[in-house]
Amino acid sequence: MKDLIGGHKTWLGIAILMAFLTLIPFFATDYWMTLLVLILIFTVYASGWNLFSGLTGYTNFGLAWFIGVSGYVSSLLIADHKFFWLFAWPIGALFVGIVSIGVGYILLRIKGVYFAISMVALTEGTRELIGTEYLEPITHGGKGVPFVAGISLSALYWSVLLLAFITVIICYKITSSKFGLRLMAIREDEQAAETMGIHTTRDKIIAFALSAFLTGLAGAIHFTYQNYIDPSFGFTIHLTLTPIVMTLFGGVGTVFGPAIGATLFTFIHEILWAELTILYMAIFGAILIALILFFPQGLLGWMKERGILPRIRKI
């Protein structure tokens, strides 16, 4: 377990990068900042997904549920109850975090593809539920919730930068901790792990709720940025799939894979879509197919296999 990334040079590099990113609002244009905000939000989504699914092997196809529930709670607080955004965000995230403990307790006993489908069903069901006549007085139903949080782009950017930084640090710490190892043991062989004294249910739920909290926080920021939430935007399957694809792109189960995936992916998307408006989505689909067939271990995995990067887990 040589700590290759713990060297002073690496930390110095990270510090410089962070300082640079922090100072960006002072010289970058709004467009670049918007792009960075989206990259950072998706970095949190992808890392949050990876934190649970990449380590435990439970494919979470309901990331949009985390995002949408937290987005809804925080948006409603800001729009209808005049909460200050800084307070609304953590409330939304805590809400989804706590609810997901219960949800995890119920759903995490379902395994494999069925778990993935149950999460999709949960997302779809919640979306429909928000629109029903019973919840409409609170949620505004299909009309959606438009609001202005009164947050400047720079403040938005710094918030999400801090969140992304914390998320990556948490992922790094977890991957190199015993808790992370236990999660990986669940992925490798859940039953064996349990007969070796690992409280698998508890560990899974903790990881699930932590993932929900972090993605939820990013989700709350996302909809504040968007000034608007409605059931179909809040729970769209794209909010689940894009982060998964980004993670696959960077490397599942790696620490920096999701961040790298989110960054590269957003840039490629930005370039492709400007040039190929309509075929863009078709190309996106083709890339997905190619990724699975020829590149299943992701960028970092591929580099590790080729010996370009050391085969250690902390990257």
Q: Pseudo-torsion of CA 154, 155, 157, 162, nearest 10°?
A: 140
Tell me the closest approach of the beta carbon of residue 9 to another protein, in angstroms. 22
Tell me the closest approach of the beta carbon of residue 125 to another protein, in angstroms. 4
14 or 33: CB nearest another protein? 33
> In 10 A of CB 65, how many CB atoms?
31
148 near another protein, rule: CB under 8 A? yes
Q: Which 215-274 residues touch another protein, going by CB under 8 A?
A: 222, 225-228, 230-233, 241, 244-245, 248, 273-274
Tell me the closest approach of the beta carbon of residue 47 to another protein, in angstroms. 17
27 near another protein, rule: CB under 8 A? no
Which region among 64-72, 94-102, 135-143, 299-307 touches another protein (by CB under 8 A)?
135-143
Tell me the closest approach of the beta carbon of residue 270 to another protein, in angstroms. 9
19 or 31: CB nearest another protein? 31
Tell me the closest approach of the beta carbon of residue 15 to another protein, in angstroms. 26
14 or 181: CB nearest another protein? 181
CA–CA dist 292, 174 (Å, integer): 27
44 or 230: CB nearest another protein? 230
Residue 1 CB burial class (10 angstroms; 0-12, 13-18, ≥19) = exposed
Angle at 295 (CA atoms; ends 293, 299), nearest 5 degrees: 160
DSSP sequence for 116-150 = HHHHHHHHHHHHHHHHSTTTHHHH-GGG-EE----
Q: Which 153-212 residues touch another protein, going by CB under 8 A?
A: 178, 181-182, 184-185, 187-189, 191-201
DSSP sequence for 225-274 = HHTEE-HHHHT-HHHHHHHHHHHHHH-TT-SSHHHHHHHHHHHHHHHHHH
145 - beta bridge partners? 229
Tell me the closest approach of the beta carbon of residue 186 to another protein, in angstroms. 9
Tell me the closest approach of the beta carbon of residue 132 to another protein, in angstroms. 5
Contacts of 23 (CB under 8 A, 6+ apart): none
200 or 211: CB nearest another protein? 200
The mark string for 83-102 relative to another protein (x by CB under 8 A, - otherwise) is: --------------------
**Which residue in the set 61, 65, 95, 213 belongs to the binding site for another protein (CB under 8 A)?**
61
Maximum Cα–Cα distance across the chain: 58
Per-residue tokens: 183: 């999660």
289 - beta bridge partners? none
